[in-house]
Chain A
């Protein structure tokens, strides 16, 4: 029997299963206990596992992140929630200064099996500080893994793998996808952390994205297909480790690439992906890599959100530009 699962439900199940399987797992954050989380991801967990393993903290993000370090030293496996992307920054000092460095500092003697979940990115018509894309801050910090699911079943898998991982993982949940649904039974079997996945095949251009931008790229690819332009869509899933091999393999096949994210353009994760393509697949490129991103401005108010986030039209337009480049024409058979 096929069951339909939302991303919120899939994440909730992942936490239930992790708590049930490993008695050292703890889930905590602001409003995660009694309320079950602002987005209901932790709903029912406190009733099932008790107030010692699933608990509300004071409103203190540095405290939440720092407690993860101490709990890890005491042999626990913390799964913490930051309530929103834009409120996670007080915890950034603990993440950069300690969570990312502790294992290295002690030459492996103090593993930090910490997962920090952060509802992230835009699309929910939120207030200021509720639609930010913090991935680059974390991806640029050596010692962290950074994952972003793009579908409910993958959210389940990636969260289970993140919690089981011996190293700290920043788990960015696309808020815009919380209510997205998918048919199937959640399972940890499938691609691991650090493996990108081709979610749509095509041979003219590769669209590279993560999180909520993956389905938008699939939509753009569908619209382009009606013009006879077949695009491949690569879901990165994991920014660190980055599956450079999969990126390069796709670009070698298509010769063109468009990288899409919601974060601002300058030094966004697209810059890293583009540079990797230049370093490892330059000879296979038929056109310059194009980035379709948010703009270099603070995240806008709700009424301007659609103008900020990469649209299907902007993505499709970028693909057409890569197809129309002179380099593309000169190197076509």
Chain B
């Protein structure tokens, strides 16, 4: 397993991954912001401001390390748990969270302009979209790749196989990024697969990388290499990032009913942010004041996001009718008139 920083924050390999100090600091800033935002979203859901929320606490390194390794021309296909990756890609969090507020099915952000697909809930279906987008990019002669997130539960779906096989056959520029977070709602890893996910890559005929998903530099290095390989025309890569979902599947379940607290404690000691902060402090890339600044900044940003999302009101009922077709058929226009009056 690729690991560059040990859980105690000491170097475990060569932590030189080609990032400047300001970029190394940015990774920490984003991880601190992401966690603060994630906790803020849990609170917003409890306060009735979001419908259901799927927290990503514990997976900050996996998401931010991978998203940070992408270029502007690349395209991300997320699941429903990639808010950290979204903010690393510069997606407006208030727009993104409208999905969880129940006012929009996708965030109102423009997926094509931002290179970030709408939240995708049906498991593994987005992996095929990534292969299709990658084929389109390849036909256009673009040097760009698609990165698709999924979990070990989604790896049980047939679509994950079809996507990997298609990407392999056509040598498409795709990075399949599996966040193996231990739990698919209430089913543990061993209930999903009898062998490491990463070994499947060999069967498809492309490389697989097993990486410590709580080590942001290792995740960055693995993703950077896979993305470079994809963009240079050498085809897909599967990354299995070993991480842990510290919280519930969503705000609708209570993990204490189906998993052992000792397991959670084991992973708490492998916290991705604590590990990276310790490392950066030890090598002198940040100091205590800088970290405190990131935390204050995160507090302010999250307060702004909270204010932004709670001020989003319900959309007009006409929204239901106006986007299903480019030009609504007469039968639909009649239903619109019945529901709303007028034209």
Whether A107 and B131, one on each chain, are in contact in the complex, defined by CB atoms closer than 8 angstroms, is no
Whether B112 and A105, one on each chain, are in contact in the complex, defined by CB atoms closer than 8 angstroms, is no
B137 / chain A contacts, CB cutoff of 8 Å: 74
Nearest CB of A to B176, in Å: 13
Whether B128 and A66, one on each chain, are in contact in the complex, defined by CB atoms closer than 8 angstroms, is yes
Interface string of B77-114 (1 = CB under 8 A from A): 00000000000000000000000000011101011100
Whether A167 and B326, one on each chain, are in contact in the complex, defined by CB atoms closer than 8 angstroms, is yes
Q: CA–CA, A246 to B3, complex, Å?
A: 68
Q: Does A86 contact B (CB under 8 A)?
A: no
Q: CA–CA, A239 to B131, complex, Å?
A: 31
Known: A63-B165, A75-B136. A244 touches B130 (CB 8 A): no
Known: A109-B111, A240-B329, A241-B331. A66 touches B165 (CB 8 A): no
Q: Does B158 contact A (CB under 8 A)?
A: yes
A90 / chain B contacts, CB cutoff of 8 Å: 158
Q: Which of A8-16, A32-40, A96-104, A313-321 contacts B (4 or more CB under 8 A)?
A: A96-104
The interface on chain A, measured as residues whose beta carbon lies within 8 A of the other chain's beta carbons, has a size of 47
A105 / chain B contacts, CB cutoff of 8 Å: 105-106, 118
Please, which residue of chain B has its CB at the minimum distance from the CB of A96? B122
Q: Does A292 contact B (CB under 8 A)?
A: no
Please, which residue of chain A has its CB at the minimum distance from the CB of B121? A97
Interface string of B30-61 (1 = CB under 8 A from A): 00000000000000000000000000000000
Nearest CB of B to A4, in Å: 34
B131 / chain A contacts, CB cutoff of 8 Å: 63, 66-67, 70
Whether B323 and A108, one on each chain, are in contact in the complex, defined by CB atoms closer than 8 angstroms, is yes
Cβ < 8 Å to B, chain A residues 33-89: 52, 57-58, 60, 62-63, 65-76, 78
A110 / chain B contacts, CB cutoff of 8 Å: 111-112, 118
Query: Which of B134, B165, B330 is the one whose CB lies under 8 Å from A244?
Result: B330
Q: Does A111 contact B (CB under 8 A)?
A: yes
Nearest CB of A to B130, in Å: 6
Interface string of B321-342 (1 = CB under 8 A from A): 0111111011110000000000
Please, which residue of chain B has its CB at the minimum distance from the CB of A165? B326
Whether B165 and A58, one on each chain, are in contact in the complex, defined by CB atoms closer than 8 angstroms, is yes
Please, which residue of chain B has its CB at the minimum distance from the CB of A276? B331
Whether A107 and B128, one on each chain, are in contact in the complex, defined by CB atoms closer than 8 angstroms, is no
Known: A63-B162, A110-B111. A70 touches B146 (CB 8 A): yes
Q: Does B319 contact A (CB under 8 A)?
A: yes
Whether B162 and A70, one on each chain, are in contact in the complex, defined by CB atoms closer than 8 angstroms, is no
A324 / chain B contacts, CB cutoff of 8 Å: none
A183 / chain B contacts, CB cutoff of 8 Å: none
Query: Which of A62, A111, A194, A242 is the one whose CB lies under 8 Å from B128?
Result: A62
Nearest CB of B to A88, in Å: 14
Q: CA–CA, A104 to B325, complex, Å?
A: 7
Whether B134 and A73, one on each chain, are in contact in the complex, defined by CB atoms closer than 8 angstroms, is no
The interface on chain B, measured as residues whose beta carbon lies within 8 A of the other chain's beta carbons, has a size of 44
Cβ < 8 Å to A, chain B residues 120-148: 122, 125, 127-137, 139-140, 146
Please, which residue of chain B has its CB at the minimum distance from the CB of A61? B162
Q: Does A106 contact B (CB under 8 A)?
A: yes
Query: Which of A60, A63, A98, A103 is the one whose CB lies under 8 Å from B324?
Result: A103
Please, which residue of chain B has its CB at the minimum distance from the CB of A63? B162
Whether B112 and A70, one on each chain, are in contact in the complex, defined by CB atoms closer than 8 angstroms, is no
Whether B323 and A167, one on each chain, are in contact in the complex, defined by CB atoms closer than 8 angstroms, is no
Nearest CB of B to A33, in Å: 12
Please, which residue of chain B has its CB at the minimum distance from the CB of A194? B329
Q: Does A126 contact B (CB under 8 A)?
A: no
Query: Which of B111, B136, B165, B331 is the one whose CB lies under 8 Å from A76?
Result: B136
Whether B331 and A242, one on each chain, are in contact in the complex, defined by CB atoms closer than 8 angstroms, is yes
Query: Which of B105, B133, B140, B159 is the one whose CB lies under 8 Å from A70?
Result: B133
Query: Which of B122, B319, B323, B327 is the one whose CB lies under 8 Å from A97?
Result: B122
Whether A70 and B108, one on each chain, are in contact in the complex, defined by CB atoms closer than 8 angstroms, is no
Whether B132 and A69, one on each chain, are in contact in the complex, defined by CB atoms closer than 8 angstroms, is yes
Please, which residue of chain B has its CB at the minimum distance from the CB of A98? B125
Q: Does A307 contact B (CB under 8 A)?
A: no
B140 / chain A contacts, CB cutoff of 8 Å: 74-75
Whether A67 and B106, one on each chain, are in contact in the complex, defined by CB atoms closer than 8 angstroms, is no
Q: Does B166 contact A (CB under 8 A)?
A: yes
Q: Does B209 contact A (CB under 8 A)?
A: no
Q: Does B62 contact A (CB under 8 A)?
A: no
Known: A67-B135, A143-B325. A106 touches B118 (CB 8 A): yes
Whether B108 and A107, one on each chain, are in contact in the complex, defined by CB atoms closer than 8 angstroms, is yes
Q: Does B294 contact A (CB under 8 A)?
A: no
B331 / chain A contacts, CB cutoff of 8 Å: 241-242, 244
Q: Does B183 contact A (CB under 8 A)?
A: no
Q: List 20 A-B contacts (CB under 8 A).
A: A62-B158, A66-B129, A67-B131, A69-B128, A70-B128, A70-B131, A73-B133, A74-B135, A75-B136, A76-B136, A98-B122, A104-B105, A105-B106, A106-B106, A107-B323, A108-B322, A108-B323, A167-B326, A241-B332, A244-B330
Which A residues have a C-beta under 8 Å from some C-beta of B? 26, 52, 57-58, 60, 62-63, 65-76, 78, 90, 93-94, 97-98, 101-111, 142-143, 145, 166-167, 194, 240-242, 244-245
Which B residues have a C-beta under 8 Å from some C-beta of A? 75, 104-106, 108, 110-112, 117-118, 122, 125, 127-137, 139-140, 146, 158-159, 162-163, 165-166, 169, 319, 322-327, 329-332
Given A70-B131, A73-B117, A110-B112: 17 more A-B contacts, CB < 8 Å:
A66-B128, A66-B129, A72-B132, A73-B129, A74-B137, A76-B139, A78-B132, A97-B125, A103-B326, A105-B105, A105-B106, A106-B323, A108-B323, A110-B111, A145-B325, A240-B329, A244-B330
